[in-house]
Amino acid sequence: MALTLTMTAAACGGDSEGATTEDGKIKLTVATFNEFGYEELIEEYNAMQDEVVVEQKKAGTANEHQDNLYTKLAAGSGLSDIEAIEVDWWSALMEQSDAFVDLSDPEVEGRWLDWKTEAATTPDGALIGYGTDIGPEAICYRSDLFKKAGMPTDRDEVAKLFGTWDDYFEAGREFVDKVPGTAWYDSSGGTAQAMINQVEYSFEEEDNTVIAADNPEVKEVFETVTTNAADGLSTGLTQWSEDWTASFQNDGFATMACPGWMLGVIEGNADGIEGWDIANVFPGGGGNWGGSYLTVPAQGEHTEKAKELAKWLTAPEQQVKAFEAKGTFPSQVEALEDPALTGSTSAFFNDAPTGEILADRAEAVPFIAHKGPKFADINTAFQQAIQRVDEGKESADEAWQSFLADVERLG
């Protein structure tokens, strides 16, 4: 029994700073989630210098990554040398800015879009994260299913259909009439998320007072997606669930809101399916969904080397390559004008000029929604409420009431 206990204890302490490799090189780890498009870049970095060996640790979902980050941040050890952080969680971690190395450096001044840098700068001027990507959103759609419904299939024609959310949902009602068995969009949660991201102050006021319960815009998003679900527009599945992944292979739905980083996800899940395309439009103007930063936790042993690596990875040239690999859209000013980006096309999305489309979409983003320290927690409760309606566990009214109780509980 004692033996079991020691072994468990050892296992808990696991993967901490195993700092050097056998041949005396420094080992650096980079922890990311979903698809960052870093696989080839890391190989390139390992080949171009011989001081450090870089290893990537990939988590399946942002939540999983975040749980790990919180746990090890609290423990004070065990974090990777570089940790990616998603923008939804950013402000909760900004309160712990001491745990991260100040990365400000004259070399990187003006590298990113202003708002991206501003969000990563603490009140006393420390820059604690290097921007990686942003999530300008477009609409991805299945042209083969559109054809079946007698709708236009050309991406410019399709773009004209989706000027506002009402137009988009109206088109959806026509679609589900003609193609029964296939939903209009991938999930209520994803659509709600896209709409919430277009509200400047959704769950929290500028001073981070929680307003989720009384904000009419939040209520409206909730009512819209739950009504749509009742009309059969949604698959009723939750994003990232097994059924959701499987629905890409089963003609489960025809469209989805797709930020740049989602392109890689779609391509992976819909492997072998032909007909995906992307329209240069987003209902209600523009919207940004997600995007991340690379940070260097102060607890690391080789923070200088890690900073160097983070600087290299987030340089415009590298982010353009990451974009080519997985569609993560760069947040670097120079990258946006790089012909390698603007000229890039995607064979999977019917040779669409994805670079140009997403650059247009990025320009259409009017503002970046405010996300305070409670955003991620309230958003989880909001998404769960929508899911309960989708699953028929509660009526829309009941789900809203229990959402209010959850917000109250989160305080």
Separation CA 393–CA 227 (nearest Å): 15
**CB of 130 or CB of 244, closer to another protein:** 244
First to last CA, the chain: 42
CB of 368 to another protein, least distance (A): 24
Site pattern 119..138 for another protein (x: CB under 8 A): --------------------
Residue matched to tokens 């292979």: 249
254 contacts 175 by C-beta, under 8 angstroms: yes
Distance in angstroms (rounded) separating the CA atoms of residues 387 and 384: 5
Annotate each residue in 231-250 with x if it binds another protein (CB under 8 A) or - if it does not, as one string.
Answer: ------xx-xxxx--xx--x
Nearer to another protein, 188 or 319 (CB): 188
Task: Print the SS3 string covering 25-91.
Answer: CEEEEEEEECCCCCHHHHHHHHHHCCCEEEEEEEECCHHHHHHHHHHHHHHCCCCCCEEEEEHHHHH
Q: Which is nearer to another protein, 9 or 48 (CB)?
A: 9
CB of 281 to another protein, least distance (A): 29
Q: Which two tokens stand for residue 257?
A: 């809101």
Shorter beta-carbon distance to another protein: residue 67 or 105:
67
Residue 227 interacting with another protein (CB under 8 A): no
- Of 4 and 24, nearer to another protein (C-beta) is 4
- Residue count, binding to another protein (CB under 8 A): 42
Please, which residue, 27 or 388, has the CB nearer to another protein?
Answer: 388
Q: How far is the CB of 298 from another protein (least distance, A)?
A: 13
Taking CB under 8 A as the criterion, the residue among 2, 47, 48, 347 binding another protein is 2
Instruction: Give whole-number Cα distances, 251 to 34, 94, 259, 264, 359, in Å.
Output: 23, 41, 21, 18, 29
12 touches another protein (CB under 8 A): yes
Between 65 and 104, how does the x/- string for binding to another protein read (CB under 8 A)? Answer: --x--xx-xx-----------------xx-xx--x-----
Q: In this structure, how many other beta carbons lie within 10 angstroms of the beta carbon of residue 296?
A: 28
Shortest Å distance, C-beta 250 to another protein: 7
> What mask, x for binding another protein by CB under 8 A, covers residues 336 to 375?
----------------------------------------
- Which amino acid would we find at residue 361? R
312 binds another protein (CB under 8 A): no
Q: Produce one character per residue of 6-35: b if its CB has 16 or more CB atoms within 10 Å, e if not.
A: eeeeeeeeeeebeeeeeeebbbbbbbbbbb
Should residue 48 be labelled a site residue for another protein when binding is judged by CB under 8 A? no
Minimum CB distance to another protein smaller for 45 or for 100: 100
Phi, psi of 16 (to 5 degrees): -90, -165
**What is the contact mask toward another protein in residues 376 to 405, using x (rule: CB under 8 A)?**
-x--x---xx-xx-xxxxx-----------
Question: Rounded distance, CA 393 to CA 385, Å?
Answer: 10
Identity of the residue, 153 or 387, whose beta carbon is nearer to another protein in the bound complex:
387
The length of the chain is 411
Asked if 8 interacts with another protein (CB under 8 A), we say: yes
Contacts (CB under 8 A) with another protein, residues 189-218: none
Catalog residues that contact another protein under the rule CB under 8 A: 1-2, 5-6, 8-9, 12, 60-61, 63, 67, 70-71, 73-74, 92-93, 95-96, 99, 237-238, 240-243, 246-247, 250, 377, 380, 384-385, 387-388, 390-394, 409-410
